[in-house]
Amino acid sequence: MHGRGLNSIRWRFTLASIILTLAGVTLRDAGLDPDWRPDAAWLLTLALLTLAIAAATFWMASRLTGLIASLKRSTDAIAAGDFDAPVDVDCACEVGGLAHSFRQMTSRLNANILRMNALAHVDAITGLPNRSVIDHLLRYALDSEREGRFRAAIVFIDLDGFKRINDTLGHAGGDQLLRLASQRILERGLQRTHATLDTCMDPFGNPCERLPEDIVFARFAGDEFVAVLPGQTDRTRLAGVGEAIIEALREPFHIKNQDVVVGASIGIAIAPDDTDCAEELLTFADLAMYSSKQAGKARCMFFDKKIRETLVARARVEADLRLALQRDELLLHFQPKVDTQTLEIGCVEALVRWQHPMRGLLMPADFIDVAEQSGLMSPLGQQVMVLALAQCRRWLDQGIERPVAVNVSPSQFVEPDFVPGLLKLLSQSGVPARLLSIEITESIAMTDFEMNVLRLGSLRAAGVRVAIDDFGIGYSNLSQLARLPMDELKIDRSLIAAIGRSEKSEAIIRAILSMARALGYRSIAEGIETAEQLAFLRDLGCDALQGYLFGRPMPAAQIEDWAAARRAGLQVAVTA
C-alpha cells in the first residue's frame, strides 16, 4: 500500500533522522577523543537528543505528507468523477505550488468538459437541451428496473410554415425565427423561462440520472420541439397547454424587417397510458403531431387508438412498398397536356400507380407520404424515371415523338448523383434528352439556390427540359427566378380552381403569364376542369393546358386511342 508503514515518507524521514543523529554524535565524540567511552549520562543525553530530533522530523514530515494526502484526495475525487472537488492545500512551499497548478488544471479540465457537454447536449441556436437529453431522460424515467412508474405527457411541437420562411429569409433568418419561436413557446405557452426550466443536466452539462422536477423543453430536430410535462396526464389540462402554445405563435415575428407568421401542429402522448416504452412514446407523440398536420395544421391532437391503427397501416404499407419495388409492381399512367389554341396533344405527364396484389390499383396519395418518410422515395423515383424513359422509347420505336414529363421529389433531387444518374439513364434508354422534362416544385428550386442553378444548368445543357411545378403559391425571389435555368412554369391548380370566383387569383394568373412571357418561359396551367377556365386561359395566351377537361391519367395504350379520337373530332369533353 502507498504511504503505509515504512513506505510512509514521515517514517522514512524519522528513521533517517535517528540514524543520522546517532551516527553523527557518535562519530563526533569518538573523533575528538580516541580514548572516549560512552557512559550512562552520555547515552541518556544521546537518547533524548535523538528522540527530540526524530519527533521534530516526524512532525515536519507529517505536515508535508498531510498536504500530499489532501492533494491525493482531490485527485481520487476527480478519478471518481467529482470534478468539482476542492483542493484544500494552502502552503507557500513546493506542494502549495503543485496544488495551485493542480487547481488550474482542474479548472481547465472542467471548462473543457462543460464545453464538450454543451456541444453534445445543448442546441447551439436556441440554447435549449437537445434530443439527446430527451432520449436519456425518457430511457431513465421509463426503465422497467427503476422503482415507481413515471407519469408524464410528451408534447411534440412542429412549426407550420417554417421551411418556407427559412427558404425565403435564408438560414440566418430561420435561426432567428427558431430562437424567437422557442422563447415564445416557453414563456407564453409553457409559462416558464430559461432560468426556471428544468434542463435535466448537472452543472457539467451531463444528462442527470434523476426524474425531472419541472417541465423539460428541448429542440428535438429541425423545426421540431419536445416538452416533457412530468406528472401531467389530465387531457383537458394538456389540451389547454397545447392551445396556449398555438395561441403564443399567432402574433407575427419581425425578422429582417419583415413580419412572418408560423403556426404549430402539436401531438401529445401520455406515459404510461399510451406506452411505457421511451422510443414508442416519442413515436406516438410524433404521429399525433403528424395527424394534426393532416387535419389542417395549427391544432393539437392526442395519440389514440385510431392513430395507432394508422401507424400499423403505415408500417404495413412501408413493408409492402419495399416488396413492390423489388417485384416491379409500380406502373405509370399518363395525362395529356394540350396546346391551348389547337387542343392537340403535345406532351404527357407520367404519374405513378401501384398495382398492389391484394388492394388493387393504388393512387400516389396512398403511398407517397410513406415513401418520403421511410426513405423509399429515391428508389421509387428511380423506378418511375426508368419506366417513363422505357415508354418514351417504345413510342419512338412506333414512330411517335412524344415528350414525357416526370415529377422529381425533394429527396431525390438533392442527392449528389441525381444529375449524372439521370443522364446515364437517358443514355442507356436511347431517348433523346429533348423528349424528357423534369418537374420540380417552386420550394425545391429555391432551396440551396446556387447549387440548384448548377444542377439544373447541367440538365438543360444536356437537353433535358426543366419545369417549375405548383408555381404561384410559394415565396420565390423573382430576381433569383430569372437566374434559374428552366423552360416552363406550371401554374398551381389552386389558382386555376379560383377562376371565376376570385379576382385576386385571376390577377395572380395574369401576372404569372406576363412574367413567363417576359422571361421567355413556356406557361402551363394544370387542373383545368371547366370551359370557363379554358376560355380565360386561352384569352390570356397560356401556352398549354392539363386537366380532367381534356383527359384523365390513363395507361399508355389508351393514349393513342385518346389522341386518335381527338384528331377525328370525337372528343366529348370540350370543343375547340
570 pLDDT tier (thresholds 50, 70, 90): very low
Same domain, yes or no: 256 and 367: no
Is the pLDDT reported for residue 375 higher than 80?
A: yes
Same domain, yes or no: 19 and 111: yes
Residue where a domain terminates, one of 245, 269, 303:
303
Q: Give the CATH number of the domain where residue 542 resides.
A: 3.20.20.450
Report the pLDDT value the prediction gives residue 449, as an integer from 0 to 100.
80
320 located within any domain: no
13 located within any domain: yes
Same domain, yes or no: 332 and 420: yes
575 pLDDT tier (thresholds 50, 70, 90): very low
Q: Give the CATH number of the domain where residue 297 resides.
A: 3.30.70.270
Report the pLDDT value the prediction gives residue 4, as an integer from 0 to 100.
61
Lowest mean pLDDT among 65-69, 106-110, 279-283: 106-110
Same domain, yes or no: 35 and 140: no
The whole-number average pLDDT for the span 134-151 is: 88
Residue where a domain terminates, one of 117, 145, 160:
117
222 located within any domain: yes
Per the listing, cell 430576381 goes with 479
Quote the number of domains for the chain: 3
Per the listing, cell 422515395 goes with 377
CB 217 within 8 A of CB 128: yes
Lowest mean pLDDT among 104-118, 230-244, 332-346, 532-546: 104-118
175 located within any domain: yes
Look up residue 155 and give its amino acid.
V
Same domain, yes or no: 154 and 238: yes
**Region at 574 (left for phi over 0; alpha for psi -120 to 50; beta for the rest):** beta
447 located within any domain: yes
Same domain, yes or no: 246 and 380: no
308 located within any domain: no
Same domain, yes or no: 442 and 366: yes
Is the pLDDT reported for residue 576 higher than 50?
A: no
DSSP structural state of residue 534? H
Range of 145-149, 371-375, 399-403, 468-472 with top mean pLDDT: 399-403
CA 435/CA 405 separation, integer angstroms: 8
- Per the model's pLDDT, the better-predicted residue between 354 and 66 turns out to be 354
In DSSP terms, 349 is beta-bridged to 335, 405
Render pLDDT for 402-434 as a digit per residue (tens, 0 to 9).
999 999 998 899 888 999 999 999 999 999 999
Domain of 287 in residue numbering reads as 125-303
Cα distances from 526 to residues 429, 496, 523, in angstroms, run 28, 7, 10
Residue where a domain terminates, one of 63, 82, 117:
117
Angle (CA) 437 442 447, round 5°: 110
316 located within any domain: no
Same domain, yes or no: 58 and 141: no
Q: Mapping DSSP to helix (H, G, I), strand (E, B) and coil, where does residue 463 land?
A: coil
For the record, the C-alpha cell of 309 comes out as: 391503427
Instruction: Share the mean pLDDT of the chain.
Output: 85
The full length of the chain comes to 576
What backbone torsions phi and psi does residue 144 show, to the nearest 5 degrees?
-65, -20
Lowest mean pLDDT among 70-79, 138-147, 486-495, 567-576: 567-576
Overall pTM > 0.75: no
CA 357/CA 360 separation, integer angstroms: 6
Same domain, yes or no: 111 and 141: no
Half-sphere exposure for 523 (CA within 13 Å, toward CB): 24
Lowest mean pLDDT among 61-75, 119-133, 324-338: 61-75
541 located within any domain: yes
Same domain, yes or no: 132 and 109: no
Same domain, yes or no: 474 and 509: yes
Same domain, yes or no: 103 and 131: no
